[in-house]
Structure 1
């Protein structure tokens, strides 16, 4: 055999898609692991023609699961973002959409046994240390993907997966406001640098000459905006204590505009070198937190709720996403937890093959 076979489950999690592996079936050292994931996804080609990636950042994501080493959790979830063309693997961030499929995948892999009509699974996001309680539908003790829950960006309906995120403040930098300020000015742009579930640089769409209501395709066809945005993001990354972020997908970037379709606020999220077709789960928590925090760049763009928990409806290119935020506003803003509703579906399972010269499987 000139190739190594690796068992996997192929799943849609939220509005993302990718392979879910048992961590024990992959190489342990990061360098070899990265090469295996690059080969499996087919990174280096815009169509990922030599792998199972889908030619977009939301379809080149990888979940790796194992029984948790944390006393609180049932499952450890280790995430990798594989680039489409640049042959890069970023182990720094996590992904909340892919996390939507972790509970079902853990049951499929035998890491968790269903317990009644609904199974609660405690998940530790290894990359960031976040703790997430997932409620999975298991009627009669059997995992079910069928249901009536709909999420923007995914056709049809499926079984609801309720996610409650805890311990997400300072997920990567250790600070709610990594620069120590509610606002910073970079290249003439006012930004808020915030770290809740995902470190982000947030700005007003109008400061870039945008309405904030552009489609994902319209934004992706605006190289001048991306050039200007990337310069701000790289400088912000240094201010946030993240070093040189030019080769990292974090911090992510987001822009705000006043809501136009009945939501709380209008958003666009960047991954960061192209526009997310909908909204990242982790990004939604950070953007909702920024919207709720007085003194940030979101000031005057929304009517802030003053009661907790607050249901924050973020408008995005595919529709809306709702984030139920439990917070304390006694002294500014302090996040307790954030809840979201997602869905997932198993698409395929089997073995993915990588050249044996990359990894022998030993």
Structure 2
């Protein structure tokens, strides 16, 4: 039997990687998509390595993005659907967006011809501006990045923690990101709830999230991913809290039916000096808050961009778990600086007079790794 194949590309976006498909190359019947994505990524793999596919054995490397011309009323250039895939399981999850892979959508749209480089709007700095409609959340993101002729530029001077080297700067502006799935920044109406005896702030911004204090779980807030996985009960306890949060936020009818992707769950703590896997030290005076996020059951090696946005929003909500560990003022007036397992990231957030988040801006890099055909059985 011959292998199946479809045109595809493979991109790094921020601290994630994904297989990229143009929507018109996929079957019109979306019921057929799941088997294609699972076969291409190499899931389910009981060994957890995805050696028979394009995945990398962890959640941040087990992803698919679908991009096509947009018909959205906002006038967006492209529609973008994000798909999270289980590693050991056959789960195919369309419930959330991935902020890191969002950084690759504009460059892919230009490079693949979904958007014509000659007609794309330009910023004041002469960079391309691609407006993205994320179908998972219904939200709009403006991606601004330099071009190299008729392609997205690859070379640049921006370094992001968690990725070696430098690349072209990509600015992502998430417009009105609050209420991505529930329609409310605080779905329960409370800045803080109690779940399993632990204080938890349930915030919907970019993606629904649940933030708890690391100290309430009896762990150091600077614990690194390998230690989190080795901990005897930390991950199961966090997932139990996350599933209860799903019901409280109206995302699922019961804990068993909660999506693996949302809500995201993360531990937060006050800035503390520590070392990251690269051996570098994190100066506690250089960050506003420390976060350890879980993505599809696994400790995230950095921080999901949507989680970073939700933290920025929660930092301004008096009585929230995030606000409680903040200092008197941000270390950088341009935004909130978050310490994560690979370093730090700053989220530029603009709030209105009532404290609502109007938009959030982050800077990422992305790169085309390959294109051609992807094969699956």
Shorter-chain TM-score range: over 0.9
Measured against aligned partners, the alpha-carbon deviations of 1:84-140 in whole angstroms (never above 9, x if no partner) come to: 111100000010111110011001110112256411110011100111111121144
1:100 aligns to what SS in structure 2?
helix
Residue in 2 aligned with 1:214?
Answer: 223
Are residues 1:275 and 2:299 paired?
yes
Alignment match of 1:316 (pick from 340, 345, 355):
340
Q: 1:142 to 1:235 in 2, by over 3 A?
A: closer
Residues in 1 aligned to 2:241 and 2:85: alpha-carbon distance in whole angstroms: 23
Aligned residue runs from structure 1 range 279-290, under 5 A: 279-290=303-314
Correspondence 1:1-362 to 2 at 5 A: 2-45=2-45, 46-71=48-73, 72-114=75-117, 115=120, 117-243=126-252, 244=254, 245-260=257-272, 261=283, 262-303=286-327, 305=329, 310-328=334-352, 330-331=353-354, 333-355=355-377
Q: 1:247 offset after TM fit, Å?
A: 4.4
Compare 61-70 and 309-318 and name the one that shifted more.
309-318
- Cα gap change, 1:138 to 1:299, in 2 (>3 Å): closer
Equivalents in 1 of 2:328, 2:77: separation in Å? 36
Q: Is the 8 A contact 1:24 1:66 kept in 2?
A: yes
Partners of 1:95 and 1:346 in 2: how far apart? 17
Q: Please state whether the residue corresponding to 1:164 is helix, strand or coil.
A: strand
User: In 1, Cα distance between the equivalents of 2:297 and 2:148?
Assistant: 41
Q: Return the offset for 1:305.
A: 4.1
Gaps of 5+ in 2: 273-282
Give the TM-score normalised by structure 1: 0.93
Structure 1 residues 333-353: Cα deviation after superposition (integer angstroms, max 9, x where no partner): 300000000000110111011
SS for the counterpart of 1:102 is helix
* TM-score, normalised relative to structure 2: 0.90
Instruction: State the number of aligned residues.
Output: 353
What is the CA distance between 1:142 and its match in structure 2?
Answer: 4.0
- Check conservation: 1:309, 1:327, Cα contact below 8 A: no
Q: Counterpart of 1:299 in 2: which secondary structure?
A: helix
Classify the secondary structure of the residue corresponding to 2:322.
Answer: coil
Deviates more, 1:88-97 or 1:237-246: 237-246
Instruction: Provide the secondary structure at the position in 2 that maps to 1:200.
Output: strand
